[in-house]
Structure 1
């Protein structure tokens, strides 16, 4: 009896944390596959002789499907549940990646990458819905863990794995390993999706265009969700601009080499990921309004520091503060999305929120490319200052921000 009692605590801990551990593994694996695909797509396109314009089309092709499918998939999750949609999206994406080396053509690569972008929302919206539903059981202090594990795979593990795979297996072998990783996520998925609760929309009519438009109007009238999407839009715009152009600023203005310039991107990502893992408890205790204000104020400071930096050392504080501020904002967003999903349906809310990020990223890249060429890339950081200051004032004064 004593031996049995002593054996119980480890089993109890594993049982209590089994979902979180498997979910973290699944999210990290999915993020790694995205990171590998991004790097290998660019390297393979260059190997095939792609022009600068074709490289731009391949980069854009990775977003087309997300823009088109995020909202419809959110409604499908509410009707059919996330498990089968996750498996379908994973199977289709994996098969498409396996086909890439069959035809050595830039046009074929572009077609495959674009097709995969239509399948990926089936995976990400489904996984978002499950995690946001579980946040109320896991505790809001862990709200950032999902995005943190996913981003770790995408930005830290994926690029290193991609280079190693290409060196060891060549491009064809790398595409096949990438396809196999999708089969592995399917194998892990029953443990995660078995925790998803009763479908709010079960038994209702199949979602058509009219029903989706009607429900979208209802979702947009929700003040908290609307605020969250607006905040996520601007955060994504600033993040895309910083990650895209900080290297060019370091190379052209500060005269650094490529290795040192890319270190700023890595540092921003590390600060962002660490904040996602550790800021949840502080945000929960301070309140979501305070979290928003703190995040936006930190980003304002980061923009001022990055815009005014004149030496390599002077750029570091702004870069690190940028990752910290964005991590705080993302933590607040994840908590608010989970709360909105509990009221409005996790699938619907996840689909709507997922759409805000690529739209913001496209806006940030376009704005930076057009306006940055006129006023200077580094001066573009100052353009974001009044925007984030206004966001801090707007969201900090509204009482619904903690709902």
Structure 2
């Protein structure tokens, strides 16, 4: 029996699967989203230095970067059910251990350890999502991705503040552990298990781990989408972790008001995922990319230069809208490559590229935050987005790939 995520299939999606997957992704996103904000606020509470803050932000992606490809092989061999369940249990245990020591370095260590098990959940979810993307179409596809981001960006900020106010930091980490375990209830309805005996199980080979990277050599369009995903994740991770610190330390905002910046961004981000998929098809993905990149670049430049608290709110709104547009376009492009190759190879690439951008964003804050200033670092990130607009305008091969019949360019060979 082949798991559903091994191929792109055409059978109708059942209501049981769809409802279970939406609920699972909401809870999964909620757990990770609460943990991200909780760790950021807890680090400030522990009076962590700029170096420690940057390292903690980077640590959230470090293990994901190293484990994404090996976990991709695990999903192919063991099935997404076993891999997702194991990651959920291990993540819950590590978050339960986090409040045992009140130290920024201890928080850094536990955050790094958690990052090594999160790919077990990310790769499993991404594989199932990408496998079903064609059946959903671009408009409804945003509903699935939006359900995950709803928990991560929209519900998590407000819930984190409520948890801290009512239970304190220690008990809030225990609540995160419970959220991780809660996903196990829905997992059997969403993921398939691969029955495999020890006798017929293929031996683990290193070439299986690095096989997805071979696609980056042969597909220029995939390299461009990876660059777009990398930079989007860099900006999102940097904003998501440091905007709370910047708002509190540089603008003297209250903790609840600072977190509301994340809520604003998350609300617009999730809303765009649910509503803009059809617009992407209507105006075409090249224009969709240009608008999204323009919004992202402009928002980041505003965040970099504004001395006034007010301008942080429209900038957060623009950032959420641009991020949502890029997210829709990137995943449709990833799915298009996956249809022509193998979804099991594309999903670990997705799980690898995003955290790589997040890791780099954390290192930016750690290395340059104290000397240049955390707020000032939004400026070069914003310029990078504007530069990508010019790069896409000049890349006719990528523009052709984005058109409805562009997937044929992969089969014909888009090497460069």
TM-score strictly above 0.5: yes
Tell me, yes or no, if structure 1 residue 123 matches structure 2 residue 113. no
Which deviates the most, 155-164 or 166-175? 166-175
Highest relative contact order (Cα 8 Å, sep 6+), 1 or 2?
2
TM-score, structure 1 as length reference: 0.80
TM-score, structure 2 as length reference: 0.78
- For residues 320 and 48 of structure 1, what CA distance do their matches in structure 2 show? 30
Match of 2:325 among 328, 334, 337: 328
* 1:57-136 alignment runs, 5 A limit: 57-101=55-99, 107-136=105-134
- For residues 293 and 380 of structure 1, what CA distance do their matches in structure 2 show? 18
1:373 paired residue number: 372
1:271 paired residue number: 268
Tell me if the contact between 1:74 and 1:349 (Cα under 8 Å) persists in the aligned partners: no
Distance 1:167 1:382, change over 3 A: closer
Q: State the Cα distance separating 1:331 from its structure 2 match.
A: 0.2
Tell me if the contact between 2:63 and 2:116 (Cα under 8 Å) persists in the aligned partners: yes
- For residues 314 and 110 of structure 1, what CA distance do their matches in structure 2 show? 32
Aligned residues: 384
User: What are the superposed Cα offsets for residues 295-342 of structure 1, whole Å, 9 maximum, x if unpaired?
Assistant: 224434445655676755555544433322221111011112222223
* 1:28-67 alignment runs, 5 A limit: 28-44=26-42, 53-67=51-65
Distance 1:36 1:302, change over 3 A: closer
* 1:132-281 alignment runs, 5 A limit: 132-194=130-192, 205-243=202-240, 257-258=253-254, 263-281=260-278
Computing the radius of gyration from Cα coordinates, the structure with the larger value is: 1
Distance 1:144 1:166, change over 3 A: same
The CA RMSD measured in Å over matched residues stands at 3.6
2:336 paired residue number: 339
Tell me if the contact between 1:31 and 1:151 (Cα under 8 Å) persists in the aligned partners: yes
1:5 paired residue number: none
Tell me if the contact between 2:299 and 2:318 (Cα under 8 Å) persists in the aligned partners: yes
Aligned structure 1 segments of 4 or more residues deviating by more than 6 angstroms? 196-199, 247-253
2:390 paired residue number: 390
Tell me if the contact between 1:298 and 1:322 (Cα under 8 Å) persists in the aligned partners: yes
Q: State the Cα distance separating 1:57 from its structure 2 match.
A: 3.5
Distance 1:85 1:106, change over 3 A: same
Tell me if the contact between 2:71 and 2:119 (Cα under 8 Å) persists in the aligned partners: yes
- For residues 53 and 303 of structure 1, what CA distance do their matches in structure 2 show? 22
